[in-house]
Amino acid sequence: MNHFIETDKQFVANTYARYPVEIVSGKGSLLYGADGKEYIDMGTGIGVNAFGIGDPLWKEAIIEQLDKVQHTSNLYYTEPCAKLAELLCRRTGMKKVFFGNSGAEANECAIKVARKYGAVHRGDDYYTIFTLTGSFHGRTICTLSATGQEHYHEQFRPMTPGFFFADKNYPSFDWMNGIVDEFKACAIMVETIQGEGGVDDINPEFLRICYDVCKQKDLLFIVDEVQTGNGRTGKLYSYEHYGFEPDIVTTAKGLGGGLPIGACLIGEKAQDVLCPGDHGSTFGGNPVACAGAYSILSRIDDALLAEVNRKHDRVVAALDGNPGIKSISGRGLMIGIETEKPATEVIKACIEQGVLCLTAKHKVRLLPALNIPDELLDHALDVIASACAE
Ligand SMILES: *Cc1c(COP(=O)(O)O)cnc(C)c1O
């Protein structure tokens, strides 16, 4: 049965409201519980296991590197770190990559680059970073401070100063253009689709305004692609849907295919901001994590992205307009389902039927493996549709 649930409850910090499921193994888009039950994985560990469980090529790359050296520190050069940085730059046109181990760390780096850029180009008091209401940028004190959802801040104040939350429903160029001066901004940071904020598609017009204001005022335009990146939305990075080039792109989740890695990609404008000693991370650029990420990233090609988009249409066709479903949001295989029933009830019913989904605010959220087979996807969608309708 579920062997470790009680032990976990007793000894692991009480920060997660876990479902009563203990996972012991998996293969591809299937997970197996300690009670022997089989589940279709529609959450992939929150968009992390990009090619599912135990992807053979990813495993091979990791094991090959493990047999050489598992960690070196950043005092020395290693092939996987250099090759992954090169691939990220070649695929995006960005110039430099800083590696950390999580989304929050990728954003911490972006924040430091933006502050130093402001200090160098405008003066020490040009440190404010605009983020959007409803955003999520991480759980460290600084990235929490950047997160535009006050309820996360409660009882953890004081927050780090220097963040201003712009109303994502108020797209006016003149307002933005004026207020960035008033608050002495150095950057604007956005998600294109707010994942934790409820799979909320940000109005493209507002994204364009943020971008244009950054261009006009020489601010850094930072796109947080921790969740939307690495093929998740049907492009390698979601900003490609909008036709603009960010100055900084942060990513994590799916990049490592299941191992912890975060990356802050720095474009031409800010490529020389960081100097030796400015930033660092003991585990950052770990050769095993980088070897795995290289395997993942090199397979997110046009053919795979076309599949992601085809599967998106399949999801919409199966769910949109069904009884109990109010709306569908998101792109590619990052999907939000607004349900009539509380999302948690839908999730529970799905678990009963062997399908694991996520929530995002009041929505059911799907982040299946980018290569989920059609049969499993279709079966999971049947289960979800009936859970919403009942
Ligand atoms: C998950 C997430 C983060 C935080 O990533 P961690 O790896 O949990 O630190 C930051 N930004 C966005 C958009 C995310 O979805």
pLDDT tens digits for 207-229? 999 999 999 999 999 999 999 99
Contact 133, 148 (CB under 8 A): yes
CA count, 13 A, side-chain hemisphere, 357: 32
Single out the residue of 91, 70, 60 nearest to residue 257, CA to CA: 60
Strand partners, 164: 130
Atom of ligand 1 lying closest to residue 140 CA: 9
**Beta-strand pair 96-100/355-356:** unpaired
- Does an H or E element contain 189, and which? strand 185-190
Residue 2 pLDDT: 61
Atom of ligand 1 lying closest to residue 225 CA: 13
- Flag the least confident range among 56-60, 80-84, 172-176, 354-358: 172-176
Phi, psi of 199 (to 5 degrees): 45, 55
What does the pLDDT look like over 279-314, one tens digit per residue?
Answer: 999 999 999 999 999 999 999 999 999 999 999 999
Token digits of residue 43: 């959450």
Q: If you count them, how many residues does the chain have?
A: 390
- Does an H or E element contain 176, and which? helix 173-182
Residue 368 pLDDT: 99
Cα(42)–Cα(321) distance, rounded to whole angstroms?
Answer: 20
What does the pLDDT look like over 139-173, one tens digit per residue?
Answer: 999 999 999 999 999 999 999 999 999 999 877 89
CA-nearest residue for atom 6, ligand 1, is 103
What's the pLDDT band for 230 if we cut at 50, 70, 90?
very high
pTM of the model: 0.98
Evaluate: CB of 146 within 6 angstroms of ligand 1: no
Three-state DSSP at 383 gives helix
Atom of ligand 1 lying closest to residue 143 CA: 10
* Statement: residue 352 has pLDDT above 90: yes
What's the pLDDT band for 202 if we cut at 50, 70, 90?
very high
What does the pLDDT look like over 92-136, one tens digit per residue?
Answer: 999 999 999 999 999 999 999 999 999 999 999 999 999 999 999
Cα(214)–Cα(211) distance, rounded to whole angstroms?
Answer: 5
Question: Where does residue 109 rank: exposed (0-12), middle (13-18), buried (19+ CB within 10 A)?
Answer: buried
**Beta-strand pair 38-41/30-33:** antiparallel
Alpha carbon of 362 to those of 245, 281, 331: distances in Å?
32, 35, 18
Cα(88)–Cα(96) distance, rounded to whole angstroms?
Answer: 9
What does the pLDDT look like over 244-262, one tens digit per residue?
Answer: 999 999 999 999 999 999 9
Evaluate: CB of 202 within 6 angstroms of ligand 1: no
Instruction: Quickly count: other Cβ atoms within 10 Å of residue 373's Cβ.
Output: 15
Atom of ligand 1 lying closest to residue 138 CA: 4
Cα(116)–Cα(70) distance, rounded to whole angstroms?
Answer: 33
C-alpha 227 – ligand 1 centre gap (Å): 7
What does the pLDDT look like over 30-56, one tens digit per residue?
Answer: 999 999 999 999 999 999 999 999 999
Q: To test ligand 1's pocket by mutation, which of 49, 189, 196 has the most ligand atoms within 8 angstroms of CB?
A: 196
C-alpha 195 – ligand 1 centre gap (Å): 9
Three-state DSSP at 172 gives coil
Q: Is the peptide bond before 158 cis (omega within 30 degrees of 0)?
A: yes
Torsion-angle region of 262 (φ positive above 0: left; ψ -120 to 50: alpha; else: beta): beta
Contact 196, 360 (CB under 8 A): yes
